[in-house]
Amino acid sequence: MNCTVKRTSSMWRLMVTGLVLLGAAGVAQAEATILEVTGRIAGGGAKLDRAALEALPPAALVTSTVVTDGQHHFTGFLMRDLLNHLDAKGDSVTAVALNDYAVEIPISDFYEYDVIVAFDMDGQPLTRDDKGPLWIVYPRDDHQALQDIRFDYRWVWQLQLLDVQ
């Protein structure tokens, strides 16, 4: 009887360990994609991890925001570089955050201004707890026109999806 119980316990532990490992692999795979791009792009869609985004030409800017104190140094990539890389064809992009906040942004913004998608602020990676992993950032301090509240709504933090239309 003890032998059967031991074998059952061992098998149970093995099954639980396997399920935990499978779950961890699924979580790691799900966490690898930090930005999905859909709509009018080459191939119809793309799922990008941080390494793919870091492979784009780097961009940086120093600017203030309406949700933080003072100026901050942001690093990431230009939105127009991402759109060009994906051969995007459209007039607007709907940016969607992790909390389902969504805003439509004219693609012309990305060519008129050096709008970046930041993954670091002041040399630290943006986390989900603090505006990350990605944040659309406008060069607010460089252009008087960007001081308008219409542009403030386009600063999407916790960015997870871009839909090109």
The overall average pLDDT reported for the chain is 85
pTM confidence score: 0.80
Q: Is the pLDDT of residue 16 over 70?
A: no
User: SS3 for 133?
Assistant: coil
Residue 111: exposure state from Cβ atoms within 10 A (0-12, 13-18, ≥19): middle
Residue showing tokens 């009887």: 1
Q: Which residues are paired to 95 by β-bridges?
A: 103, 162
What does the block give as tokens for 105?
Answer: 């942004």
Q: What is the pLDDT of residues 78-111, one digit of tens each?
A: 999 999 999 999 999 999 999 999 999 999 999 9
Helix (H) or strand (E) holding 96: strand 92-97
